[in-house]
Amino acid sequence: MQIIEIDAADDPRLAPFVSIREKDLTGGHGGRFLVEGKVTLEALIRRSRFVPESLFLAEQKVEPLAGLLADLPTGVPIYTASREIMDQTVGFPIHRGVLACAHKGPPLDMAAVLGGARTVLALIGLSNHDNTGACFRNGAAFGADAILLDQTSCDPLYRKSIRVSAGAALHLPFVHGGSGAEIFDALERAGFTLWCLTPNLSAEPLGKQTLPAKLALVLGPEGPGLPDALLARGKQVRIPMADGFDSLNVATAGAIALSRVFSAQGGVDK
């Protein structure tokens, strides 16, 4: 392992980790992204299609993480520092004491991703990083093969989204970009049936649906939901709820729908 002790917050080798909140807000990571915490670091090193470029650890974290760090690719530097220097560098108290930087690389090809998929989750207009991360975690838990996000949805490789996803955003295939209509076009070309989730009472209940061979579950933003033009292109499906309550958190709705599909496809309790 290439462990390098750092004794100053302005060390130029720490540039990717400087003022990370401000960089998160401005998209200033320059084609890179950061992961925070042990769970996401393990996903990055052992399960991810992304390759870490460098790590920045509080000095007391090196020994407990030795087994994981041994799996790093050769030549990846591990910078260590005191908590004080680490906090000064990142711009806030970094309680987990574990950060890594990786490059996003080229996006996956939409046709290739859909070609081998059976169940896909499509996210349209999701601007909340917690919801996006939770959708990735749900997708991984219930066997989704890929996630598609339109250009108005937030970046699933935002640090908080990765953390909320429990690292699923690092290994579950996704394509981010294009309009909702373009995503629908791609799904239709690939032979997917589209179920557009909506609380509209005129929609068909989820439990009464026959599972198609290739299914895309489509979720829109909380509040406005999916645009009418997109709803009209798919089958409108709702999750029955108690009288007087009309909606669920978008990630919760996605989890319920994915769980039903997973069970219907032969998912086994573990």
pLDDT value of position 270 = 41
> Are residue 59 and residue 8 in the same domain, yes or no?
yes
Q: Are 51 and 73 in contact (CB under 8 A)?
A: yes
Domain that holds residue 137: 110-264
Least confident of 102-116, 126-140, 223-237, 256-270: 256-270
pLDDT digits (tens, 9 = 90+) for 194-210: 999 999 989 999 999 99
Query: Would 200 be classed as within a structural domain?
Result: yes
CATH number at residue 243: 3.40.1280.10
Rounded to two decimals, the pTM is: 0.94
Of 57, 85, 103, the residue that ends a domain is 103
Q: Are 44 and 50 in contact (CB under 8 A)?
A: yes
> Are residue 45 and residue 114 in the same domain, yes or no?
no
- Structural domain tally of the chain? 2
> Are residue 65 and residue 141 in the same domain, yes or no?
no
Q: What count of other Cβ atoms lies within 10 Å of the Cβ of residue 74? A: 6
pLDDT digits (tens, 9 = 90+) for 179-193: 999 999 999 999 999
> Are residue 184 and residue 206 in the same domain, yes or no?
yes
> Are residue 159 and residue 204 in the same domain, yes or no?
yes
Q: Are 44 and 69 in contact (CB under 8 A)?
A: no
Query: Would 137 be classed as within a structural domain?
Result: yes
> Are residue 117 and residue 89 in the same domain, yes or no?
no
Of 80, 103, 126, the residue that ends a domain is 103
> Are residue 17 and residue 116 in the same domain, yes or no?
no
Q: Is the pLDDT of residue 50 over 70?
A: yes
- Give residue 268's pLDDT band: very low, low, confident or very high (50, 70, 90): low
Alpha-carbon distances of 108 from 93, 114, 123, 148, 177, rounded to whole Å: 35, 10, 16, 11, 11
Helices (H), 83-237: 83-90, 110-115, 129-141, 159-164, 180-189, 228-231
CATH number at residue 22: 3.30.1330.30
